[in-house]
Amino acid sequence: MVAEASFIGLIKTTLIIVGGMVVLKFIGQLMITKRNINEQNRMRQAEFHLKKEKEHYEKNKGKISILRKDTIRNVQDVDFEDIS
């Protein structure tokens, strides 16, 4: 069997390859855009949490708060001396 290369077949193959490259480049750009949008949203959320933390700190500045933990009940005083 003899294979003949036609000009139309060459152009068709070239267009398919170029079209595939264009589609892959477009998908790549969409993925980069999505990553950038997600990163921007994460940065906004972190900035929001930092702002809320600053507001909470400024609101409670100078106040005293006592934190109690009920989980520690087996505490022993080890700073003692035996007087004999």
Three-class secondary structure assignment of the chain: CCCCCCHHHHHHHHHHHHHHHHHHHHHHHHHHHHHHHHHHHHHHHHHHHHHHHHHHHHHCCCCCCCCCCCCCCCCCCCCCCCCC
Mean confidence (pLDDT) of the chain: 86
Domain locations in the chain?
A: 26-60
In whole angstroms, give the CA distance from residue 33 to residue 55. Answer: 33
pLDDT in tens, 44-77: 999 999 999 999 999 988 888 777 766 666 666 6
Amino acid 6: pLDDT: 87
pTM above 0.85, yes or no: no
Binned at pLDDT 50, 70 and 90, residue 42 comes out as very high
Q: Considering the chain, what percentage of its residues have pLDDT values greater than 90?
A: 56
- Give the up-direction half-sphere exposure of residue 33: CA atoms within 13 A in the CB hemisphere: 6
